[in-house]
Amino acid sequence: MSDPTAASSIATQLDDLRVEIDRIDAGMHALLIERSGIIDQLISIKARQGGGSAFRPGREAEMMRRLAERHTGRLPLDTVESIWRVIISTFTFLQNPYAVHADMAGGDAAMRDSARFHFGFTVPLHSHFGTDGVIRAVAAAAGDLGLLRAENAKSAWWRDLMPPEAPKIIARLPFVERPDHPAGIPVFVIARPVTAAAARDVVFHAVTLDRWREGLAEALATLGGAIVGHAAESDGAALLLSTPGTLPEGRLSATLAEFAGTTAVTAVGSHAARFELA
Protein backbone atom coordinates (compact mmCIF):
# COMPACT_ATOMS: atom_id res chain seq x y z
CA MET A 1 0.00 0.00 0.00
CA SER A 2 1.15 3.51 -0.70
CA ASP A 3 1.88 5.77 2.23
CA PRO A 4 -0.74 8.56 2.29
CA THR A 5 1.56 10.76 4.35
CA ALA A 6 4.44 10.41 1.86
CA ALA A 7 2.09 11.04 -1.08
CA SER A 8 0.76 14.17 0.61
CA SER A 9 4.30 15.38 1.26
CA ILE A 10 5.27 14.93 -2.40
CA ALA A 11 2.14 16.74 -3.55
CA THR A 12 2.97 19.64 -1.23
CA GLN A 13 6.54 19.82 -2.54
CA LEU A 14 5.30 19.85 -6.14
CA ASP A 15 2.82 22.62 -5.34
CA ASP A 16 5.60 24.65 -3.72
CA LEU A 17 7.82 24.21 -6.80
CA ARG A 18 4.99 25.28 -9.11
CA VAL A 19 4.53 28.40 -6.98
CA GLU A 20 8.25 29.11 -7.44
CA ILE A 21 7.95 28.63 -11.21
CA ASP A 22 4.98 31.04 -11.30
CA ARG A 23 7.02 33.58 -9.29
CA ILE A 24 9.98 33.30 -11.68
CA ASP A 25 7.72 33.55 -14.75
CA ALA A 26 6.11 36.70 -13.35
CA GLY A 27 9.57 38.12 -12.62
CA MET A 28 10.78 37.47 -16.18
CA HIS A 29 7.65 39.10 -17.59
CA ALA A 30 8.16 42.12 -15.33
CA LEU A 31 11.76 42.44 -16.53
CA LEU A 32 10.63 42.38 -20.16
CA ILE A 33 8.15 45.15 -19.41
CA GLU A 34 10.90 47.10 -17.64
CA ARG A 35 13.15 46.60 -20.66
CA SER A 36 10.47 47.96 -22.96
CA GLY A 37 10.43 51.13 -20.84
CA ILE A 38 14.15 51.58 -21.52
CA ILE A 39 13.45 51.18 -25.23
CA ASP A 40 10.90 54.02 -24.99
CA GLN A 41 13.65 56.22 -23.58
CA LEU A 42 16.05 55.17 -26.34
CA ILE A 43 13.50 56.07 -29.00
CA SER A 44 12.98 59.50 -27.42
CA ILE A 45 16.71 60.25 -27.17
CA LYS A 46 17.46 59.05 -30.71
CA ALA A 47 14.59 61.18 -32.05
CA ARG A 48 16.22 64.26 -30.49
CA GLN A 49 19.52 63.25 -32.11
CA GLY A 50 17.90 62.99 -35.52
CA GLY A 51 17.46 59.22 -35.60
CA GLY A 52 20.08 56.63 -36.42
CA SER A 53 20.41 52.93 -37.02
CA ALA A 54 18.92 50.61 -34.40
CA PHE A 55 21.38 47.87 -35.39
CA ARG A 56 24.54 47.58 -33.30
CA PRO A 57 26.28 44.43 -34.57
CA GLY A 58 29.33 44.86 -32.36
CA ARG A 59 27.31 45.36 -29.18
CA GLU A 60 24.95 42.48 -30.01
CA ALA A 61 27.89 40.12 -30.54
CA GLU A 62 29.46 41.12 -27.23
CA MET A 63 26.16 40.63 -25.37
CA MET A 64 25.72 37.20 -26.96
CA ARG A 65 29.29 36.22 -26.10
CA ARG A 66 28.78 37.15 -22.44
CA LEU A 67 25.51 35.21 -22.35
CA ALA A 68 27.13 32.08 -23.82
CA GLU A 69 30.11 32.29 -21.45
CA ARG A 70 28.02 32.54 -18.29
CA HIS A 71 25.37 29.99 -19.24
CA THR A 72 25.12 26.90 -17.04
CA GLY A 73 22.55 24.25 -16.17
CA ARG A 74 20.26 21.86 -18.03
CA LEU A 75 18.65 24.44 -20.30
CA PRO A 76 20.27 24.09 -23.78
CA LEU A 77 22.29 27.08 -24.90
CA ASP A 78 20.38 26.90 -28.22
CA THR A 79 17.18 27.76 -26.36
CA VAL A 80 18.82 30.67 -24.56
CA GLU A 81 20.35 31.90 -27.82
CA SER A 82 17.00 31.81 -29.62
CA ILE A 83 15.13 33.56 -26.78
CA TRP A 84 17.79 36.27 -26.60
CA ARG A 85 17.77 36.75 -30.38
CA VAL A 86 13.99 37.09 -30.50
CA ILE A 87 14.04 39.60 -27.62
CA ILE A 88 16.74 41.72 -29.27
CA SER A 89 15.14 41.52 -32.73
CA THR A 90 11.70 42.43 -31.39
CA PHE A 91 12.89 45.38 -29.31
CA THR A 92 14.95 46.60 -32.28
CA PHE A 93 11.76 46.36 -34.35
CA LEU A 94 9.94 48.48 -31.75
CA GLN A 95 12.66 51.15 -32.06
CA ASN A 96 12.66 51.18 -35.87
CA PRO A 97 10.28 48.81 -37.71
CA TYR A 98 12.13 46.71 -40.26
CA ALA A 99 11.75 43.53 -42.29
CA VAL A 100 14.01 40.59 -43.09
CA HIS A 101 14.51 39.55 -46.73
CA ALA A 102 15.79 36.04 -47.38
CA ASP A 103 16.90 34.18 -50.48
CA MET A 104 14.42 31.27 -50.54
CA ALA A 105 15.33 29.93 -53.97
CA GLY A 106 14.21 26.32 -54.12
CA GLY A 107 11.83 26.62 -51.16
CA ASP A 108 14.65 26.81 -48.65
CA ALA A 109 13.31 25.42 -45.35
CA ALA A 110 16.75 25.75 -43.71
CA MET A 111 16.86 29.47 -44.51
CA ARG A 112 13.35 29.96 -43.11
CA ASP A 113 14.34 28.11 -39.92
CA SER A 114 17.37 30.38 -39.56
CA ALA A 115 15.27 33.52 -40.05
CA ARG A 116 12.67 32.49 -37.47
CA PHE A 117 15.29 31.24 -34.97
CA HIS A 118 17.16 34.54 -35.06
CA PHE A 119 14.36 37.08 -35.65
CA GLY A 120 11.16 35.43 -34.37
CA PHE A 121 7.71 36.07 -35.81
CA THR A 122 7.12 39.74 -34.97
CA VAL A 123 9.64 40.93 -37.58
CA PRO A 124 8.15 40.47 -41.09
CA LEU A 125 9.93 37.92 -43.30
CA HIS A 126 9.89 38.37 -47.09
CA SER A 127 10.93 35.61 -49.49
CA HIS A 128 12.99 36.24 -52.62
CA PHE A 129 14.16 33.87 -55.30
CA GLY A 130 17.74 34.90 -55.78
CA THR A 131 20.40 37.00 -54.09
CA ASP A 132 19.85 39.99 -56.36
CA GLY A 133 16.27 40.43 -55.12
CA VAL A 134 17.41 40.39 -51.50
CA ILE A 135 20.16 42.94 -52.12
CA ARG A 136 17.82 45.27 -54.04
CA ALA A 137 15.19 45.09 -51.30
CA VAL A 138 17.70 45.92 -48.56
CA ALA A 139 19.15 48.78 -50.62
CA ALA A 140 15.68 50.26 -51.10
CA ALA A 141 14.67 50.20 -47.40
CA ALA A 142 16.73 52.09 -44.83
CA GLY A 143 16.31 49.65 -41.95
CA ASP A 144 15.76 46.23 -43.53
CA LEU A 145 18.08 43.23 -43.29
CA GLY A 146 18.93 40.55 -45.84
CA LEU A 147 19.90 36.90 -45.34
CA LEU A 148 22.17 35.25 -47.89
CA ARG A 149 23.72 31.80 -47.81
CA ALA A 150 27.38 32.15 -46.83
CA GLU A 151 28.23 29.14 -49.00
CA ASN A 152 26.37 30.30 -52.11
CA ALA A 153 28.76 29.89 -55.06
CA LYS A 154 26.24 30.13 -57.90
CA SER A 155 27.17 33.71 -58.75
CA ALA A 156 29.42 36.55 -57.61
CA TRP A 157 26.58 38.15 -55.60
CA TRP A 158 29.07 40.05 -53.44
CA ARG A 159 29.90 42.32 -56.37
CA ASP A 160 26.53 44.01 -55.79
CA LEU A 161 27.87 45.09 -52.37
CA MET A 162 30.82 46.99 -53.84
CA PRO A 163 29.36 50.50 -54.39
CA PRO A 164 29.90 52.68 -51.28
CA GLU A 165 26.15 53.16 -50.69
CA ALA A 166 25.29 49.50 -51.32
CA PRO A 167 24.37 47.08 -48.48
CA LYS A 168 27.25 45.46 -46.63
CA ILE A 169 27.80 42.28 -44.61
CA ILE A 170 27.24 43.10 -40.91
CA ALA A 171 26.93 39.65 -39.27
CA ARG A 172 27.40 35.91 -39.72
CA LEU A 173 24.82 33.52 -38.25
CA PRO A 174 24.56 31.43 -36.22
CA PHE A 175 26.76 33.21 -33.70
CA VAL A 176 27.23 30.11 -31.55
CA GLU A 177 29.28 27.66 -33.60
CA ARG A 178 28.63 23.93 -33.19
CA PRO A 179 27.97 21.05 -35.64
CA ASP A 180 24.39 20.18 -34.58
CA HIS A 181 23.01 23.70 -34.24
CA PRO A 182 19.22 23.66 -34.90
CA ALA A 183 19.56 26.66 -37.23
CA GLY A 184 23.06 25.89 -38.38
CA ILE A 185 22.93 26.95 -42.04
CA PRO A 186 25.77 29.50 -42.51
CA VAL A 187 24.14 32.86 -43.29
CA PHE A 188 25.45 36.35 -43.93
CA VAL A 189 23.33 39.27 -42.72
CA ILE A 190 23.46 42.34 -44.94
CA ALA A 191 22.24 45.87 -44.24
CA ARG A 192 22.85 49.38 -45.36
CA PRO A 193 26.29 50.48 -44.10
CA VAL A 194 26.46 50.74 -40.27
CA THR A 195 30.16 51.64 -40.05
CA ALA A 196 30.10 53.25 -36.60
CA ALA A 197 28.45 50.19 -35.03
CA ALA A 198 30.18 47.49 -37.06
CA ALA A 199 32.01 44.49 -35.62
CA ARG A 200 35.34 44.03 -37.44
CA ASP A 201 36.83 40.79 -36.19
CA VAL A 202 36.47 39.40 -39.73
CA VAL A 203 36.55 41.68 -42.80
CA PHE A 204 35.33 40.81 -46.30
CA HIS A 205 36.78 41.96 -49.61
CA ALA A 206 35.36 41.68 -53.12
CA VAL A 207 38.30 40.99 -55.40
CA THR A 208 38.42 40.91 -59.20
CA LEU A 209 41.53 39.49 -60.86
CA ASP A 210 42.37 38.37 -64.36
CA ARG A 211 44.32 35.30 -63.25
CA TRP A 212 46.08 33.74 -60.31
CA ARG A 213 48.68 31.08 -59.79
CA GLU A 214 48.77 28.12 -57.47
CA GLY A 215 49.42 28.91 -53.84
CA LEU A 216 47.05 31.87 -53.43
CA ALA A 217 44.75 30.06 -50.99
CA GLU A 218 47.70 28.94 -48.89
CA ALA A 219 49.19 32.45 -48.90
CA LEU A 220 45.87 33.89 -47.71
CA ALA A 221 45.74 31.28 -44.95
CA THR A 222 49.08 32.51 -43.61
CA LEU A 223 47.42 35.91 -43.18
CA GLY A 224 44.49 34.29 -41.35
CA GLY A 225 42.30 34.76 -44.41
CA ALA A 226 40.38 32.52 -46.78
CA ILE A 227 38.60 32.40 -50.14
CA VAL A 228 34.94 32.42 -49.12
CA GLY A 229 33.48 32.45 -52.62
CA HIS A 230 34.63 32.49 -56.22
CA ALA A 231 32.94 32.74 -59.60
CA ALA A 232 34.01 33.25 -63.20
CA GLU A 233 33.07 36.62 -64.69
CA SER A 234 33.51 38.16 -68.13
CA ASP A 235 36.33 40.38 -66.83
CA GLY A 236 38.12 37.62 -64.92
CA ALA A 237 37.63 35.78 -61.66
CA ALA A 238 35.54 37.27 -58.87
CA LEU A 239 36.53 36.29 -55.33
CA LEU A 240 35.06 36.98 -51.90
CA LEU A 241 37.91 36.95 -49.39
CA SER A 242 37.89 37.10 -45.60
CA THR A 243 40.78 38.48 -43.54
CA PRO A 244 41.25 39.28 -39.85
CA GLY A 245 40.21 42.80 -38.91
CA THR A 246 43.68 43.30 -37.41
CA LEU A 247 45.48 42.67 -40.71
CA PRO A 248 47.80 45.63 -41.42
CA GLU A 249 46.75 47.85 -44.31
CA GLY A 250 48.39 46.82 -47.55
CA ARG A 251 49.16 43.21 -46.56
CA LEU A 252 46.27 41.76 -48.58
CA SER A 253 47.11 43.81 -51.67
CA ALA A 254 50.78 42.78 -51.42
CA THR A 255 49.83 39.10 -51.21
CA LEU A 256 47.46 39.36 -54.17
CA ALA A 257 50.13 41.13 -56.20
CA GLU A 258 52.48 38.22 -55.58
CA PHE A 259 50.07 35.46 -56.63
CA ALA A 260 47.62 37.14 -59.00
CA GLY A 261 47.54 39.36 -62.04
CA THR A 262 45.71 42.68 -62.21
CA THR A 263 43.47 43.02 -59.16
CA ALA A 264 40.79 45.32 -57.77
CA VAL A 265 39.92 45.08 -54.07
CA THR A 266 36.83 46.56 -52.36
CA ALA A 267 35.72 46.09 -48.74
CA VAL A 268 32.17 44.74 -48.59
CA GLY A 269 31.53 44.30 -44.87
CA SER A 270 32.61 42.59 -41.69
CA HIS A 271 31.32 40.62 -38.73
CA ALA A 272 32.18 39.55 -35.17
CA ALA A 273 34.13 36.40 -34.43
CA ARG A 274 31.69 33.62 -33.58
CA PHE A 275 31.50 31.83 -30.25
CA GLU A 276 32.73 28.25 -30.45
CA LEU A 277 30.90 26.00 -27.99
CA ALA A 278 33.37 23.73 -26.22
At 243-272, the pLDDT tens digits run 999 999 889 999 998 888 778 899 999 999
Structural domain includes residue 5: no
* CA-CA-CA-CA dihedral for 100, 104, 105, 108, to nearest 10: 160
**Based on the domain organization, do 30 and 102 belong to the same domain?**
no
Residue 276 falls inside a structural domain: no
Q: Which tens digits make up the pLDDT trace of 212-244?
A: 788 899 999 999 999 999 888 776 789 999 999
Task: Say whether both 92 and 25 belong to one domain.
Answer: no
Residues 71 and 189 in one domain: yes
- Identify the domain containing residue 232 by its residue range: 203-271
Asked, for residue 278, whether it belongs to a domain, the answer is no
How far apart CA 275 and CA 278 sit, in angstroms, is 9
Among 80-84, 111-115, 236-240, 274-278, the least confident range: 274-278
Domain-located, residue 4: no
Separation CA 141–CA 191 (nearest Å): 9
What is the pLDDT at residue 152? 66
The model's pTM = 0.89
| pLDDT for the residue 178 | 83
Question: Does residue 257 share a domain with residue 210?
Answer: yes
* Sign, CA torsion 226/252/176/86: negative
Neighbours of 166 (CB within 10 A): 18
For residue 59, CA distances in Å to 20, 88, 159, 210 come to 33, 11, 27, 39
Asked whether the predicted pLDDT for residue 52 surpasses 70, the reply is no
Instruction: State the total domains in the chain.
Output: 3
Instruction: Taking residues 6-31, report their average pLDDT.
Output: 92
pLDDT-based confidence at residue 45 (cuts at 50, 70, 90): confident
Least confident residue range of 122-126, 200-204, 208-212: 208-212
| Residue 145 confidence (pLDDT) | 95
Q: Do 73 and 122 fall within a single domain? A: yes
Same-domain check for residues 41 and 157: no
Greatest mean pLDDT range, 8-12, 102-106, 162-166 = 162-166
pLDDT of residue 243: 97
Q: What is the CATH number of the domain that holds 237?
A: 3.30.70
159 and 220 in a common domain:
no
Give domain status of residue 277, yes or no.
no
215 part of a folded domain: yes
In a shared domain, residues 94 and 161: yes
Which CATH number does the domain housing residue 61 bear? Answer: 3.40.190
Same domain as 180, residue 131? yes
Residue 209 clears pLDDT 70, i.e. is over it: yes
Instruction: Say if residue 161 is in the same domain as residue 219.
Output: no
Residues 72 and 140 in one domain: yes
Q: Is residue 76 part of a domain?
A: yes
What gap in Å lies between CA 191 and CA 166, rounded to an integer? 9
In the predicted structure, residue 146 carries a pLDDT above the cut 90: yes
For residue 1, being part of any structural domain is answered with no
Q: Is the pLDDT of residue 273 over 60?
A: yes
Q: Give yes or no: residues 20 and 75 share one domain.
A: no
DSSP labels for the chain? ---HHHHHHHHHHHHHHHHHHHHHHHHHHHHHHHHHHHHHHHHHHHHHTT---S--HHHHHHHHHHHHHH--SSS-HHHHHHHHHHHHHHHHHHHS---EEEE-TTT-HHHHHHHHHHHTTTS-EEEESSHHHHHHHHHHSTT-EEEEETT--SS-GGGGG-STTS-EEEEEE-SEE-TT-TT-S-EEEEES--GGG---SEEEEEEEES-B-TTHHHHHHHTT-EEEEEEEETTEEEEEEEEETTPPTTHHHHHHHHHBSSEEEEEEEEEPPPEEP-
In this predicted structure, the answer to whether residue 26 has a pLDDT above a threshold of 80 is yes
pLDDT at residue 153, rounded to an integer: 60
Give the domain-ending residue among 146, 163, 195: 195
Cβ atoms 223, 244 nearer than 8 A: yes
48 pLDDT more than 80: no
